[in-house]
Amino acid sequence: MTHKNIAFIRPNRHLISDLRLEDIIKEFFSEYNVDVFDVADILRKQYLVLILNGFATLAMYGWEIFTKKKGLRVSFWRTPYIFRQITKIMRKKLKAKDYSFTIQAQSMFDASVPGIPNFIYTDHTHLANLYYPGFNPKDLFSKKWIALEKEIYNHAAKIFTWSVNINKSLIEQYNCTPEKITCVYSGSNIEIERLENVSQRFFGKRILFVGKDWKRKGGPDLISAFQLVLKKHPDAQLTIAGSAPQIDIPNCQIVGEKNLDELIPLYHNADIFCMPTLLEPFGIVFLEAMAAKLPVVATNLGALPDFIQNGWNGWLVSPHDVNGIADALSKLLDHPDQCHIYGERSNEIVHTKYNWHAVGKRIEEHIVNYMNTDPTKNNVHKYG
């Protein structure tokens, strides 16, 4: 008899991508009841666990937190103690009900239960940080925690990734078999229809940056590059959203942090999107810009080569290559027609690969195929 329950486990209820994932699970497995577990909410009731993990966090990362090399909140989730406690708590909860399978968002904990296939959807691995130029291996979290992270992937039935570079990390750094991993991509935080509903643009040489972590997102490099751009295009404009750096240069507008609704007109009023990030697990804002039919200038790292192609819908440059950023922006500013063509291609890429319905369809196909390859597994029957 087929069980009619699916468990979806996520770190918290605040990440928009996890909310979208919940929606597509319910859409593509509509014949099943979906129970949603928010790990952060569950832990808030575990007072002793929180207190003891506070001590464990300080014991393991106290000096690095004090010297601001690591954040307290991120470190709190990266202790072997909290990892094992989450596993223990979730297994107890999940064993209380019959589940056909479970799906967990991200790979910060192990929500697998022996006998129940667990599928993971993640945008990052911790060791993938080593692929980024300039990342110091000393900044990695505890080796004991990384060893536990490897168990997450070992226990998974299948791992769904957002990008090809994470497939590479899982194979090279975590010894996963390629057959266990599938890149299913991701979707935009803002509905594509709202972003692409832009009237005919009047080309005003307007460059847009959207990013909260100003330094990590390459903001200082963009400022240096923009000053070079102004020598050739003195009428170029730069808008900075998400951050509020203390800078004073011509033709630069700083609008600070904006919610999703407030970002839409910024995308519509721009001609080029540029964020020369230095470390990027994925980069949802690039998808938003592409959906809004913008050409993109970015750095050649992480997931970005998956959806930005040189000379097709934008330009990729090396990290910290200020001259390269300036040259790429100038190429686009020199050719408004090319900006339009690149923007249309960006929008097509988002429609083809990077929308949540397409992500859900890929996940459904692979889960159904996995469950049907072995008659001893709880079958998930295919929908018409």
- Higher pLDDT residue, 54 or 3? 54
Output the pLDDT for position 237: 97
Same domain, 208 and 336: yes
Same domain, 173 and 207: no
pTM: 0.91
Percentage of residues in the chain with pLDDT exceeding 90? 87
Q: What is the mean pLDDT of the chain?
A: 93
Output the pLDDT for position 379: 46
pLDDT digits (tens, 9 = 90+) for 167-201: 999 999 999 999 999 999 999 888 888 988 877 77
Q: Which amino acid type is present at position 378?
A: N
Output the pLDDT for position 3: 56
Total structural domains in the chain? 2
Same domain, 231 and 363: no
Q: Is 136 exposed, middle or buried (0-12, 13-18, 19+ CB in 10 A)?
A: exposed
The predicted model gives 214-238 an average pLDDT of 97
What is the C-alpha separation between 64 and 60, in angstroms, rounded? 9
Same domain, 205 and 240: yes
Helix (H) or strand (E) holding 240: strand 237-241
Which pLDDT band holds residue 343 (cuts at 50, 70, 90)? very high
Same domain, 174 and 26: yes
Output the pLDDT for position 384: 30
Output the pLDDT for position 373: 82
Angstrom distances, CA of residue 68 to CA of 57, 71, 73, 74, 155 = 14, 7, 12, 12, 34
Same domain, 324 and 249: yes
Output the pLDDT for position 377: 53
Same domain, 348 and 361: no
- Higher pLDDT residue, 321 or 191? 321
Same domain, 115 and 245: no
pLDDT digits (tens, 9 = 90+) for 71-90: 999 999 999 999 999 999 99
Same domain, 19 and 166: yes
pLDDT digits (tens, 9 = 90+) for 91-133: 999 998 999 999 999 999 999 999 999 999 999 999 999 999 8
Domain containing 155 — which CATH number?
3.40.50.2000
Domain around 368: 5-187+355-372
